[in-house]
Structure 1
Amino acid sequence: MTTRGRRTEALWGYAFIAPTGLGLAIFYLWPVLQTAYFSFTEWGAFGGHTWTGLDNYARLLGDPEVGRAVLNTLTYTVLGLVGIPLAIVFAALLNRKGLRGVGAYRTAFFLPVVTMPVAVAMLWRWLYNGDYGLVNQVLAVVGIDGPNWIADPATAMYALIVVGIWSSIGYNLIIFLAGMQAIPKELYEAAAMDGAGRIRQFFTITLPMLSPTAFFISIVSVIGSLQLFDLVFVMTGSGPAARANPAYGRLQTVVQLFYERAFVTNDRGYAAAIVIALLVLIAALTVAQFRLQRKWVHYV
């Protein structure tokens, strides 16, 4: 191909990716840059802002509420990873030959994924209600007096994690199921000829072959958990009503704190600093996961 032909081909390539690139620049890159700039400013009550340098970040480092929100978010993220091995187990059960109604099971597991998060939060808010919630009614049948799950500091975080796992396990299950079906059947046949049972095949063939899929799911799960907002906001609310909840300190996440600072107290410069710090945290954890994945592959 001539130089002119390569140039024409390159121009057509740029022309095809231009709409997507322009959309990413306008709706993703520019807001990030704008937020980063606002994190160095202070906003007035009626608009307008002044440059304050690193004041917001210095304030952020000394704010105990930020530390508590980060701890709550990390707790939710780490404990929420329990849903990954659960999804693998359920995917393995649904991947068995001769299982009847497998389509119905897949639909039942995947249904929470396509349900609006607000609807999910409202449903579980009713289930967890301490006075008339279905969970406590079931516990009362066996003589257990259940707590007010969302209002009790001892149970609020765990109740929220259950909702998070329940609403995301279907997505993880479908991805793992697709990964299992891509594993060559010859590996299982050879293992069976060597006398390996199903459990041994699962640990020696299925899990190692699923490691790239598990890595992808872990990346997506961690990023999604660090951005948790809608479940907490609907189940606990915001502002004075939310702060009246005894478990408010155990449920407040970084994104919820950002929302309150930006739209409730109108402290937008400080809110921008909070969300930029969250962006840095997400990037750091993602890089750490990539490095751990490389070491795991090298070890295997």
Structure 2
Amino acid sequence: MISEAGKPPGMRATPKAGKRKRKGAKEALWALLFISPTFIGLFAFYLGPAIASFALSFTHWDGLTPPTFAGWENFSALLSSPVFIRSLVNTLLFMLVAVPASVALATCIAVLLNQKIKGMVVYRALYFLPVVTMPIAVGMVWKWLYNTEYGLVNYVLGFLGLPQPEWLFDPNIALLSVIAVYVWMTVGNNIILIVAGLQHVDPTYYEAAAIDGASKRSQFFRITLPLLTPTLFFVVITAMISSLQVFDLIFVMIGDTTALVGPLRTMVYGVYESGFMFSQMGYASAQAFLLFLLILAMTVIQFAGQKKWVHYDG
């Protein structure tokens, strides 16, 4: 039976349906209004500059005069530049040493901090303090600690009768010296994340393992570590991206000593040097884009390989 309006009775719009539709549209409008600052900030400070940087990588621009199209000249110059290759190698070495060291150390400390011991909150806060300290302050303090003549590190080594290296001036250990500071500065954040992951492990697994006579070591490698892999995967990804973008710590510890730039040069330092010291904005943008491709490639590799070592409970 067809109604007078030409539609079956079940298909006619009711006042309640129209009211719900208007209410849904109003809620969607308010939702868009509340998230608009985030979207505006995302585009204004991230997506917009990223798109502009990509476009500038194909130009010659000094920041003042109009840019001129350069095609692939910036990229070909980079790939044939020994300075850029050195920066790329240093960046990869920094990541390959800093990330495993930070994650391994954070895992060991997190397991200890996950125990029920008096004052554990204080210990966690102490380990987290370097994270909330500005990298500029960390770099200045450690630059003094590493000082060859009056630094505290060499003073203690000299008091103990041990060799006193030139931590930041020896090209063989300069990068490792900065990596040690970076690990000390970032390990607290990884500890907090791993402790959170440990607290979500079902204690019944340990109870069953204890009944079967499994040792603490066996429980760690067969229960804790496999169930912790989702958290470790997140920690590795974030630590990897952060290490590839390291700049402020190295910049502060280098200071104005140009002799230190070679052993400690990273890709981000090259972007800063080309863009803000030599006013080669197109060349700097090309380096930034290659860094983006490197981070993207490393992230894709991690996601592709997670199936082999990440275990999700349930």
TM-score (norm 1): 0.93
Looking at structure 2, the residues matched to 212 and 299 of structure 1 have their Cα atoms a distance apart, in angstroms, of 7
Residue 110 (structure 1) aligned with residue 123 (structure 2) = no
Could you tell me how far apart the structure 2 residues matched to 1:224 and 1:147 are?
28
Listed one character per residue, the Cα deviations across residues 222-260 of structure 1 (whole Å, up to 9, x for unaligned) are 1000001011100002xxx43233xx3110010011101
Are positions 1:231 and 2:223 aligned together? Answer: no
Corresponding residue number in structure 1 for 2:259: 244
Per the normalisation by structure 2, the TM-score is: 0.89
1:274 Cα offset (Å): 0.5
Q: Tell me whether 1:194 sits opposite 2:212 in the alignment.
A: yes
Match of 1:286 among 275, 288, 299: 299
Of residues 52, 64, 85, the one that matches 2:70 is 52
- The whole-number CA distance in structure 1 between the counterparts of 2:96 and 2:42 is 30
Give the one of 152, 159, 167 matched to 2:177: 159
Specify the alignment match of 1:92 in structure 2: 111
Identify the residue that residue 277 of structure 1 maps to in structure 2: 290
| Cα gap change, 1:44 to 1:216, in 2 (>3 Å) | closer
Please identify, of 161-170 and 182-191, the stretch whose mean Cα deviation from structure 2 is larger. Answer: 182-191
Flag the 1:294–1:12 CA change in 2: closer, same or farther, 3 A: farther
Equivalents in 2 of 1:41, 1:162: separation in Å? 38
Structure 1 gap segments, 5+ residues each: none
Cα distance in structure 2, aligned partners of 1:191 and 1:50: 68
Q: Which amino acid aligns with 2:257?
A: A
What secondary structure does 2:60 align onto? strand
Q: Taking every aligned residue pair, what percent have the same amino acid on both sides?
A: 46
Shift in alpha-carbon separation, 1:216–1:299, aligned structure 2, 3 A: closer
Kept in 1: contact 2:56–2:282 (CA 8 A): yes
Aligned residue runs from structure 1 range 74-93, under 5 A? 74-81=92-99, 82-93=101-112
RMSD over equivalenced CA pairs, Å: 1.9
- Say which SS state the counterpart of residue 148 (structure 2) adopts: coil
**C-alpha separation in 2, matches of 1:206 and 1:20:** 38
Tell which deviates more after alignment, 251-260 or 17-26: 17-26
CA contact (8 A) 1:131 1:148 kept: no
Whole-angstrom CA distance in 2 between matches of 1:34 and 1:80: 31
**Bigger Rg, which one:** 2
1:296 CA drift (Å):
2.3
Q: Deviations over 1:37-86 (max 9, x none)?
A: 11111124743211111111111111111110011011011100211011
